[in-house]
Amino acid sequence: MRIMEATDYVPREELERRWARVRRFMDCDSLIVLQNVDQYYLTGTLQTGVLWFPREGEPLLAVRKSFERAKTESAVRNLVPLKTYSELPALIPNPGETIGFELDVLPVAAYQQVSKYFSKAKIVDGSMALRRARAVKTLYEIECIRRAARQLDTMFLDVPKQLHEGLAEYELAARIEYVLRMAGHQGFTRVRRFNMEMHYGAVSFAETAAYPHAFDGPVGVRGLYAAVPMMGSRRVLKRNEPVMIDICGGYAGYIADGSRTYSVGPVSQQMRDTHQYILELNSWIEDQLRPGNVPSQIYQDVLDRVAKTAFAAHFMGAGENQVRFVAHSVGLELDEIPVIAPKFDAPLEPGVVLAVEPKVFYPGLGGVGVENTYVITDHACERLTTSPMEIYTV
């Protein structure tokens, strides 16, 4: 199968594969899809409108803006312009007795504006049908993520050339953004969860990597302003300090996630020993990434292994930054499922793409660790971020 370039559009046969997956998980007669990423997944276009997705037959995409662009980009055959939501009953006269909405992400106002036109139907939460379908990627999606991972490798190999004493975090962040954009990065990272925002990621020197923050991730970051705590602050680099780079690549909507550790001059023996343990742990986790293994059990096994070491108190975040996962799925959004965390009990399947990020952080000193994006194959896993994982020492 030919993998398209970013300038191409999602072909009809790719959309039909996605439709079939969503329908496997639907427990309602149809879905009303309003969130832009879910609409893109099912239509190949990112316009403002309403997608009616039935259990059988052709979906209907009613577009408020831009209808002309939707006609160019989408292989959906039922495309109609939409001026107001009041037209929906005429466009969708038989929506079914049960309709699913994306209740995990929809603002109440948007839900009320649209759902009132389906008052005779029972409204249920249809979000998990979409999220479970998106958990297993098609070959097209995997290739897009692979290309996003290549962007990260290009950037990771460029960082050592930029490091020097006196360099500010935001200066390195600007260089990283430049390198990624020149490598084809889309310039944006989507996150599904309410109020969880992301730009490219984190650029953190020494104690910044343990700085408290609200984002559901282990790496601390300060940013330039309290209003935008992202990417890099004015903190400057000193010798022998760990540099944590945790960044997302982005190609044609799809995300890869990766981290590497750097320093100007060698880091302390404590940091070197910690990083060596992380590499050994990461290798063990790789061996567990195979079809049939259960994410919640992998997570518990990781905690059990770490509990026998001196790193347990600082594993996956310093203090209140500590998180209860060791890997998350990536795709069109950063926070997809499954997650290697408690309560994720469905076995891994081929096509699941996971960002695995074992890390350790010490308050006041910083952190070390790695993150790689993996795809589960028929018998094992493939690492898509292929650059070396050792500490890059300049």
**Domains in the chain: boundaries:** 12-134, 139-393
Which amino acid would we find at residue 386?
T
Asked if residue 53 lies in contact with residue 22, where contact means CB atoms within 8 angstroms, the answer is yes
Position 339 scores a pLDDT of 98
Position 238 scores a pLDDT of 98
Angle made by CA atoms 67, 71, 72, in degrees to the nearest 5: 120
- Two tokens, residue 242: 């760990």
- Two tokens, residue 32: 């009303």
- Those residues of the chain that have pLDDT short of 50 are 1, 3-4, 6
C-alpha span between 331 and 334 (Å, rounded): 7
C-alpha span between 294 and 303 (Å, rounded): 15
The single residue listed with the structure tokens 């049939």 is 292
Position 1 scores a pLDDT of 45
- DSSP three-state, residue 247: strand
Quickly count: other Cβ atoms within 10 Å of residue 58's Cβ: 12
Fold of 139-393: Creatine Amidinohydrolase (3.90.230)
Burial class (CB in 10 A: 0-12, 13-18, 19+), 5: exposed
* Superfamily the domain 12-134 falls into: Creatinase/prolidase N-terminal domain (3.40.350.10)
C-alpha span between 191 and 348 (Å, rounded): 22
Residues 6+ apart with CB under 8 A from 91: 52, 60, 62, 80, 82
Position 128 scores a pLDDT of 98
- Two tokens, residue 90: 């005429």
Q: What is the pTM of this model?
A: 0.96
Q: Which of 344, 163, 347 is CA-nearest to residue 245? A: 163
- Same CATH topology for 12-134 and 139-393: the answer is no
For the chain, the distance separating the N- and C-terminal CA atoms, rounded to the nearest angstrom, is: 42
Any idea what DSSP says for residue 235? P
